[in-house]
Structures are given as structure tokens and as C-alpha cells.
Structure 1
Amino acid sequence: MSNTNTIPDTQNTTQDQEDEELLVVFNNEDVKEGLQGCKNSLIGRLMTEKSINSAWIQSAMQNIWKKPEGLRIVELKPKIYQIFFQKETDLDRVLKGSPWNFRNSWFLLKKWDRSEDPVEKGLDKADIKVQIWNLPKHCKTARLGWKIASALGVVKECDVFENTRDQVRFIKAIVTLNTNKPILKGANIGSKEDGLIWTDFKYEKLPNFCYYCGLIGHEKSNCQQAIDDEEKGENKSKELGPWLKADLIGSIVKVVKNQQNGDSEERKEKNTMSQQRLTARMLEKLEKLTMIDIPEPSNSKGKEAEQLQYNQEQRVGIEQEETEEIPLTLVKQVSNTPRTMATGSVPEKAEQKESTENIEEEAKRKETKKKEIKEQEREFTPIVLEEVTSTKTAKETTKQGNKTWKRQARQMAATTKNEKENSDFGRQKRKALEAEEMEIDSTEVKMIKINAEPILLTAEAAQQPCRRP
């Protein structure tokens, strides 16, 4: 008996091991490639009761989404798909356009999230544009429209729109609807002053929905609630129809709160425009202006002219100083001198003496400055002939200078001629030219000193032009 108690029960231990579940732990490094692939993916839900192959969806949506690179659609569950993209820009563009319409059914999209389970969580909401009609004219405001649209869901935008065809205004709002709830055909609004008012709703790009229960995703022929009510002999229809689908879009209307504010804004805009124009003109004028560096005159005549101009400016300045009026204080002191001489006190006489001494010192200073300028003019002003100062003599001197230049050119050309030009004919011609030059050189010569540089001019050139032989 003791031996049987010591024997282990191997049969029970094997059964316990089989009942235990196996657990394998992994980290992000083990699934790095899979995470990278799912990062650029979306989760989609097709709201229809019909069975559709994922290949059909891929071929249709590839054309609708303008053929994004590396598009791949995989079915995870019935009507639940995972869409893979190669570029993140394509993913963002497709996600922004959700919900998409596939065969008159909504294709809802959201970004893949690792933490969400099940993956289709959050695919029961969609943004849709709702139009609010049959409002009184004074009730067509964005604020009231926001209140009415908030009864349908979360409001993102709300504005006043106008039909350009008949200029009828209505309210439009972007609302996030819950697809698990039926859509509404309208709502009652009211106030103490206006009473009860019924408003109609219209939905833009609305897919197939059930006219009996109001749910999106199936039609009345496949509505389970309609079948159950028919068996019970009841009718709980919401009496919906295709008129809930909007057939126009309209254009947004910008409402001005106050005409005075509008006028002031227009004036501000005009002022800003005028200021901008003025600044533009000033900039254009500044661009046209150019900085010019005036070169210093290299010849002696330029320096001499500058010295003469400088002396003249100094002389004019001294003349202006002489003609300037004496300050009123000095005039008063001088005019009051006889009175002070007769009846003034000792300090007043001292002040008068000081004023007269100041005037005498100024006069002496001006005389000394005049003398200095005259001496400078004597040193630097050249002796210029009267004929040169006149316009006629200047022209004649330029002609004579041209002739002398031509004569030098001929002399240089004669020295560089070939042996053929040294023939008898060439010698005769050269002798004739030399004789002509001797006649010109035999005339009297005058010396003109300008900046200590002698210039030779003939007497005949100053009086009459030379004649050709």
C-alpha cells in the first residue's frame, strides 16, 4: 500500500499542461516592417447591403482617386477594407474627400489606428452639407442656422447662401451626422413674436437611404423594420422621399453688419491704395536717380577755371556779407549812442565803445579778406588775349590747331614711306609741302601763358584763315 502512494500520477500532470494557454511576447522591433506598411493606410466601410468584391472597389476607386501610386485594397471583414498607399500626400488627399460615393453608396474612411479595436470603430460618422429652407426673410442668418443645424449633429461651418437663378437665400451648414441614426426631413422652430415655423432640410450628395426608416445604407425593399411592421400590420413610415436630395448648390453671401462700417472700410481701403501708389511713384523716381562721379579735370584749363570760379564765389560771399543787415542789437546800440552820450551813465558809455570797436574790427577783417583774394587772383589768373575770349577767335584757334595736327601727320607719313616714294616725284611733292610749311612758319608768333604751358598761335590765324596754295 505504501508503494502505491509514492508513485506519481503522470496522467493528471499531462492533462494540466494541455489545459494551460501558450503566451508569446513580442516588441515593436519584431513588427517594425508591418507598422511601417500600416502607417500609410486607411480603414474604409462601404455602407450597402449588397455583396461587392474588393477587386471591383479597387478598380473603381483607382480611377476616382486619380490613380495613386501603390494603391492596394484588402478586405478585413464584410464591408470593412484596409487601403494602402505609397505616398502620404495621396493618403491625405483621399481622406479629405471622405465620404466617397461608390455605386450610390457611401464609402467612409478614417486613418488606421493601432490602438482601436475593432478597426471599424469610428466609421459611423460622416460630414455632410445640409440646406435649411422655408425660413422667413428676417430669420435667414448664420447664427440661427447654427442653432437649427446643431439638432442634427456637430456643426463645423454655417453660412448664408443664395441661388443665382432666382436670388432666393437659404442656410447651409456642414454637419457631422451619425449614420446609425435616421436622417430628418425638417424641424420646427419658433419664437414668441413669430410663432411656430416649419423648416425643410435638404442634403447634398446624399446616397441611397431608406424612405421608411430613414437609415443610410439600404433601401425600403430591404428594410427589416418595414418587413416586421408589415407582419404586425403596423405602419411606422417616416414618409421620406427623393426630394431630400439637394439639386442646387448656390453661392455664399457676405452680409454687411452696418452701412457706415462698410463706408469707413471702403475709405480705409482707398486711403491705403492711394498711399501705396504714392510710395510706388516715389520708389520709381528714386530708381531713376543715379549717382554720378565727376572726374577731376586733368588739363590746366580746367584747374584754372576752377580757381577762377572759387575766387569769384569768395568775392560774392564778401559782397553779401557787406550788404547783410547789422543785427538789431547793434543797431539799437548805435542809434542810442547820442542819448547815452548826453545823459548816459559810465557803464552805458563803455558798452557803446565796445559795440563801435566790434563794428570796426569786422570792417577791417573784410578789407583784409578782399586783399587776400586779389593777391590770389594775381598769382593764379593767366594772361589771356581778348581774341581768345571771344567765340570767333576760339573757333579760329581750333581750326589752326587742326591744321598743325594735319601738318604733323603728313611729316610722320613722309618719314615712313617706302623707297618707291623717295623717287623724284615724291621729292618734288615733299619740297612743295615744305615750302608751304615755311610760308606758314614765317608769320609772327604770339605767346599765351596758361598754367605755365606755352601755346603758339600765328598772327594770321588770329585775324584770317590760311589759304591753300
Structure 2
Amino acid sequence: MARQAREGNSDSDGESDNEVLIEEEDIKKGKEACAKSLIGRVFADKKFSVGTIENAFRSIWSRPEGFRVSDRGGNNFQFFFDNDKDLMKIEKGSPWLFKDYVLHVRRWNNSDRREEREMQGFPVWAQFWGLPECYKTIEVGRKLAEKIGGVIEVGFYEMKGGESRIIKTRVEMDASKKLKDHVCVIGPNHQAVEIGVRYEKLGRFCTYCARLGHEPKGCELLDTDSVMKSVRQDKIGDWIKAYQMGRRINNEFNGYNVPGANLNDQGDKPKKKPIPSWLLNSLSGLSMKETVGAKLAPEVNSSHSKSDSLLETSEANLVDITSASTKEPQEGVQGLMAVEEVQNVDQSYSPRKE
């Protein structure tokens, strides 16, 4: 019995030999340095080295004082600054685009330990096209936005084209989930209406598997289906990337708090998803000059009807609009809020390959 006790004490002493007690004073300088840092993630399947990220963003962010980057693994990085002003400006401008991949950053915070968890998503502006005028209310916008992610903000925006007034929402989008290029609204009359979704500053995405971080030529699912001779139609259209931001037409803030391998040359190619009617309608009012540079999918097959598309829509894309949500929007909105969103990208910068 005494022998067992001695062995137990020996094991305990061995464990204590491996423990190091850290006092608050020991990490004071480290916490001060981290207090002027941002935690960020590049949402890409391709892995980037810390050297590539540091050299690129030192230039993109205009060489901030004391700038350095620490690699946290899995395309997660920590960005250090000497100047609080630089840090706040960069955090406010997030998300950023690097080689057309999204980089989202947020301030390091020791109290909630968020830096220990991988960043799952980022805020993005989503545009909803094809809504009937009587459905263009803040409450309907909120319900639409909930199908994309956590709702941050909802507003009305003036756009160019056939549909001059749309609803835009800012949402916290989960990057691990598939992108939606439409939602279906079920109105009080129980009729389904397909509503198009377009995203601002979305970065690279795959139309075949509907996921962020790569393009069809690098899609593993497409490679597999090509080998199996079972290539299908794209899940989403390439029109989901927005090419105009619009101008806000009301200055009322409508906020909602947020909880804190390549395709073989001889393989099959996926069939492009036809252009939906809401997109064709939005282009009808644009001049030739305004449509130059817009990337559109192939022409629509006349045999493809909108009703067929609606029948194939999954329940996850359905939005039930009650009569209480479809009241006419308030009249008397005065003027335009001429604030245009600027994409924080240095188009002239092209970092060296890794």
C-alpha cells in the first residue's frame, strides 16, 4: 500500500515538472502587441505562405508602420501594426480582395478567445432582383437576407437598368455553405416568385459546386464527375457577382445585431445554367455602353421555362411572405444618399508567385 502511494506521488511530481506557471506580468508586453493586431483568414482552397501575404498587403495597405504578419495555419494570419489609426482603417475596410480571394480581418480580442477559433465567414452585401414592387419592404428584405446569413443591415438602393429600385442587405455569410443564386418567395396568394441574388466583393467562386475559394477549373467535384462521366449542369450562374453597387435612397439605418485538380481536356464540361428572367429584365434598361464588360452566361434555351426552374427549387431557398410583410413602403422618401461603395483593391498590384 505504501509502495502504491509512493508511486502515485512520483507520477504527480512528474506531471508538475512539465507545468509552467505564467503570471499576468509575464505576458503584459505580448498582450500589448496583440492589442494592435488583426486576426484574418484568406477564404481560398489554395494555401498562401506568410511571406506572400506580408509582401502583398504591405503594398496594398500602403506600408503601415511596424507592419508584420504571423502565420496561424490554414490560411489564418495575424497582422501586427504600430499605429492604431492604420489598424482601424484596415478593419473598417474589410473584407478585402487579394488575387480575387476574400480576406476578412477583425480585431484581436483576448477576452472572448475568438482568435483561437477559425473564422467561418465574413460580411457581404447581397442584392435581391425581381421583387414585385409591393414586396419591396424592409421586413421582406430581412426575411430574404435570413436565407443568406445573419442579418446586419437592410436598405433600398437606386440602380441602373430595367429595375431601378432594389433591396440590398448586409449579411454575415457562412463561407462553408453553398452559395445561393436565387430564392423563391411564396406570397399571400401562394404563388412562387423567383428572386435573383447577386453579391458584392464576393471573390472567386465555383459555379459547378456553388462554393467559395476556387473556380470550376480547380473543382474536385467536377474532376470526379468528369472521370465518372456524370458531369451535370452548374448549380449556380456566374451572374451572381454584382457589377454595380447602387446608391442608397433612404438615410434611415435599418440595422440588426449579429452575434458576435483541373478538368481534363478530353473530359466533359458542365452545362451553363440559363440566364434567369430577372437578370434579363434588369439588363433591358441599360445602354450598350453600360453593359460592356458584364460577364453573362450563354443564351437561354427557349425551351427552358421559369416554372421548370421553380419546381426544382429546394425548400432551403423558399421564403414565405405573409400579408403583414407586404405593406406598401412608406411614401415621401427624400432624395438620394450618394454614397458609393468602393472595392478596397489595388488593381495595379500583382505580387510575385510563391
1:28 and 2:24 equivalent? yes
1:119 and 2:119 equivalent? no
Q: What is the identity, as a one-letter code, of the residue corresponding to 1:190?
A: I
Query: Quick one: distance in 2 between partners of 1:116 and 1:90?
Result: 23
Partner of 1:244: 240
Q: What is the identity, as a one-letter code, of the residue corresponding to 1:178?
A: D
Query: Quick one: distance in 2 between partners of 1:238 and 1:201?
Result: 16
Match of 1:195 among 191, 196, 201: 191
Contact 1:45/1:120 (CA < 8 Å) preserved in 2? no
Query: Quick one: distance in 2 between partners of 1:145 and 1:206?
Result: 20
Could you report, residue by residue, the CA deviation over 1:257-316 in whole angstroms, capped at 9, with x for unpaired residues?
Answer: 356x99xxxxxxxxxxxxxxxxxxxxxxxxxxxxxxxxxxxxxxxxxxxxxxxxxxxxxx
Partner of 2:46: 50
Q: Please state whether the residue corresponding to 1:174 is helix, strand or coil.
A: strand
Query: Quick one: distance in 1 between partners of 2:330 and 2:147?
Result: 27
Q: CA deviation at 1:204?
A: 0.9
Identity of aligned residues (%): 29
Query: Quick one: distance in 2 between partners of 1:120 and 1:222?
Result: 30
Q: Superposition pairs for residues 77-156 of structure 1, below 5 Å?
A: 77-114=73-110, 119=115, 121=117, 123-156=119-152
Match of 1:213 among 205, 209, 221: 209
1:224 and 2:220 equivalent? yes
Query: Quick one: distance in 1 between partners of 2:208 and 2:104?
Result: 23
Kindly indicate whether structure 1 or structure 2 has the higher relative contact order, using CA contacts under 8 Å at least 6 residues apart: 2
Change (3 A) 1:156 1:25: same
Query: Quick one: distance in 2 between partners of 1:92 and 1:56?
Result: 23
Query: Quick one: distance in 2 between partners of 1:201 and 1:138?
Result: 18
Change (3 A) 1:216 1:167: closer
Q: Please state whether the residue corresponding to 1:119 is helix, strand or coil.
A: helix
Contact 1:164/1:251 (CA < 8 Å) preserved in 2? no
Q: Please state whether the residue corresponding to 1:37 is helix, strand or coil.
A: helix
Q: What is the identity, as a one-letter code, of the residue corresponding to 2:209?
A: C
Q: What is the identity, as a one-letter code, of the residue corresponding to 1:250?
A: G
Could you report, residue by residue, the CA deviation over 1:405-432 in whole angstroms, capped at 9, with x for unpaired residues?
Answer: xxxxxxxxxxxxxxxxxxxxxxxxxxxx
Q: TM-score, normalised by structure 2?
A: 0.63
Q: Please state whether the residue corresponding to 1:24 is helix, strand or coil.
A: coil
Query: Quick one: distance in 2 between partners of 1:189 and 1:199?
Result: 7
Q: CA deviation at 1:197?
A: 0.6
Contact 2:76/2:118 (CA < 8 Å) preserved in 1? no
Report how many aligned residue pairs link the two structures: 253
Q: Superposition pairs for residues 362-401 of structure 1, below 5 Å?
A: none
Change (3 A) 1:142 1:118: closer
Query: Quick one: distance in 1 between partners of 2:25 and 2:11?
Result: 34
Could you report, residue by residue, the CA deviation over 1:35-91 in whole angstroms, capped at 9, with x for unpaired residues?
Answer: 111111111111222233323322321232233211111212241211101112221
Query: Quick one: distance in 2 between partners of 1:187 and 1:24?
Result: 55
Contact 1:80/1:120 (CA < 8 Å) preserved in 2? no
The higher radius of gyration belongs to 1
Q: CA deviation at 1:95?
A: 1.0
Change (3 A) 1:191 1:86: same
Contact 2:136/2:329 (CA < 8 Å) preserved in 1? no
Match of 2:330 among 252, 257, 277: 257
Q: TM-score, normalised by structure 1?
A: 0.48
Q: What is the identity, as a one-letter code, of the residue corresponding to 2:43?
A: M
Query: Quick one: distance in 2 between partners of 1:237 and 1:58?
Result: 39
Could you report, residue by residue, the CA deviation over 1:331-372 in whole angstroms, capped at 9, with x for unpaired residues?
Answer: xxxxxxxxxxxxxxxxxxxxxxxxxxxxxxxxxxxxxxxxxx
Match of 1:62 among 33, 41, 58: 58
Q: What is the identity, as a one-letter code, of the residue corresponding to 1:105?
A: Y
Q: CA deviation at 1:32?
A: 1.4
Q: CA deviation at 1:188?
A: 0.6
Contact 2:127/2:198 (CA < 8 Å) preserved in 1? yes
Partner of 1:178: 174
Query: Quick one: distance in 2 between partners of 1:103 and 1:180?
Result: 20
Q: CA deviation at 1:225?
A: 3.2
Q: Superposition pairs for residues 303-322 of structure 1, below 5 Å?
A: none
Partner of 1:432: none
Q: CA deviation at 1:185?
A: 0.7
Change (3 A) 1:24 1:209: same
RMSD: 3.2
Query: Quick one: distance in 1 between partners of 2:92 and 2:226?
Result: 41
Change (3 A) 1:212 1:46: same
Please, which runs of 5 or more residues in structure 1 have no aligned partner? 1-7, 263-469
Q: Superposition pairs for residues 255-294 of structure 1, below 5 Å?
A: 257-258=330-331
Change (3 A) 1:48 1:120: farther
Partner of 1:74: 70
Change (3 A) 1:161 1:68: same
Partner of 1:313: none
Query: Quick one: distance in 1 between partners of 2:199 and 2:191?
Result: 26
Q: What is the identity, as a one-letter code, of the residue corresponding to 2:103?
A: F
Structure richer in helix, relative to its length: 1
Q: Superposition pairs for residues 395-410 of structure 1, below 5 Å?
A: none
Q: CA deviation at 1:247?
A: 1.2
Query: Quick one: distance in 2 between partners of 1:122 and 1:45?
Result: 8
Could you report, residue by residue, the CA deviation over 1:133-186 in whole angstroms, capped at 9, with x for unpaired residues?
Answer: 011222222321222112211112112212246562211111110111111011
